[in-house]
Amino acid sequence: MNIKATIAVHGGAGGLSYFTNEEHRRRYLSGLSNAVSAGLEAAKKGNALDMVVEAVTVMEFDGSYDAGRGSVLNLYGEVEQDAGVMWGGKDLSVGGAVASVKHVINTIRLARLVMERTDHVLITGDGAEELAKQFGLWVPSTELINEIKINRYKSLIRNLRSRYEKNADLARKLGLLGTVGAVAIDRDGNLAAATSTGGYNT
């Protein structure tokens, strides 16, 4: 099969009001470009799964998105992330996912470990944290929480109920914004997708 490796990425569902300033907007767009480049570079030696994991890893490290290093604080003032990968390769692996992860920058890599190194599809909470420790992905909360996030959290809590009553209810039920992701096809026609979020969680 002779297919050109292709990847598409997204950096969240926020509108233009998401950007705090012009520098933030430029960094956000540059991060998307870097994610695509990382995915295409991974295609040279790897497959579609490598492509999407590398692309999402770049966005998690970047800090411009509500995932990984940029994860916002949930309604309890904590970082709480989810991530998942799907692989439509020749072995038809189902995928792997993690949820309620609080001490990992690259949750997408942790999700891949669930798929490749365990018999599970989903590992959550303490189990995911322990897996992260075993594979060197665990970081202290100081790596993920900073003054900007704390101030954003305080502002959210102040304004949530008074200005956004419907949104407050929705946030508690569903979570808001925050998801980055990638989908790719490699030269052999294998499909893969990856997503990571550290947006508003309940």
pLDDT tens, position by position, 140-190: 988 899 888 888 778 777 766 555 566 555 555 444 445 789 999 999 888
CB atoms within 10 A of CB 67: 32
pLDDT of residue 198: 82
Q: Respond yes or no: is residue 179 known to be catalytic.
A: yes
Question: Catalytic: which of 6, 20, 107, 179?
Answer: 179
Average pLDDT over residues 62-68: 89
Sign of CA dihedral 191, 89, 58, 153: positive
Report how far residue 7's alpha carbon sits from residue 51's, in angstroms, rounded to the nearest whole number: 7
What is the DSSP-derived secondary structure letter of residue 21? S
Q: What are phi and psi of 96, to 5 degrees?
A: -150, 150
Report how far residue 201's alpha carbon sits from residue 105's, in angstroms, rounded to the nearest whole number: 17
pLDDT of residue 112: 96
pLDDT of residue 175: 40
> Is the pLDDT assigned to residue 136 strictly greater than 80?
yes
pLDDT of residue 18: 64
pLDDT of residue 80: 92
pLDDT of residue 93: 63
In which order are the strands placed within the sheet that holds 191-197?
6-10, 179-185, 191-197, 81-88, 96-101, 122-124
- E-strand spans in the chain? 6-10, 81-88, 96-101, 122-124, 179-185, 191-197
Measured distance between the N- and C-terminal CA atoms of the chain, rounded to whole angstroms: 45
pLDDT of residue 23: 87
Note every long-range contact of 131-136, with CB atoms under 8 Å and residues 24 or more positions apart, other chains counting: 131/98, 132/101, 132/103, 132/104, 135/110
CB within 8 Å of 19: residues ≥ 6 apart: 25, 28
pLDDT interval class at 202 (50, 70, 90): very low
Q: What angle do CA 49, 52, 54 make, to 5 degrees?
A: 100
CA of residue 148 relative to chain centroid, distance: 19
> Is the pLDDT assigned to residue 15 strictly greater than 80?
no
Domain boundaries, the chain: 6-145+177-192
Question: Which pair of structure tokens corresponds to residue 195?
Answer: 């997503």
Average pLDDT over residues 15-20: 63
Residue 120 · residue 112 · CB < 8 Å: no
pLDDT digits (tens, 9 = 90+) for 92-124: 667 999 999 999 999 999 999 999 999 999 999
* Ranges 32-46, 52-66, 91-105: which has the least confidence: 91-105
Q: What are phi and psi of 54, to 5 degrees?
A: -65, -40
pLDDT of residue 163: 55
